[in-house]
Amino acid sequence: MKIRFVLLTAVVSLLLASCGAKMRFDQTCMTCVQSQRLSCNGQECPQSFMIGNDCVVTMVETGENIFLNMILNEEKITPREGIPFTIAKFNGSYYLIGDGLKNMWKVTPSGRNQACFKDIKLPQDGIGIPVFEIANGQLKMRGKSNEFAYIYDDENEKWINVNSPKAGE
């Protein structure tokens, strides 16, 4: 009996430890719709705003808020309003890229109004605000004019180049 308890405690501890840092993430919404924003153009992009000292981006379709201060701190960006983001919900996590960010960020709900977050190095510099698509059950990121395209393999945590020019070409 004690061995089972110790093993159960160890497994729960490992699951909780795998998350790392947590940030505030309001997941409650009054009216949720089926669609998720997968691409944005100009003013269609969700933009950050300030609530006191907190920089927040809202997903209009669901009413969910992601509090960005910890991500902006990791990116060494001063919290401010008006930062455009593109967001995709894929396999239960949110993937977001914002203007001036060097990484894509994976935000995974974890507990009540909290989320784990992890940086994912972008496959190339100067991506700007890309377009997200779900294609063949995979998360695809491409340029607005199709100048690049990558698929993010979330199981192996790596980018797959679809039609992007090689560096130096």
Confidence (pLDDT) at 145: 86
Higher pLDDT, 17 or 120: 120
CA distance linking residue 110 with residue 102, whole number of Å: 24
Domain ranges of the chain: 20-161
CA distance linking residue 45 with residue 26, whole number of Å: 19
Higher pLDDT, 25 or 161: 161
The mean pLDDT of the chain is 80
Q: How much is the average pLDDT of 132-141?
A: 87
pLDDT digits (tens, 9 = 90+) for 88-117: 888 888 899 998 999 999 999 888 889 999
Confidence (pLDDT) at 16: 47
Contact 130, 95 (CB under 8 A): no
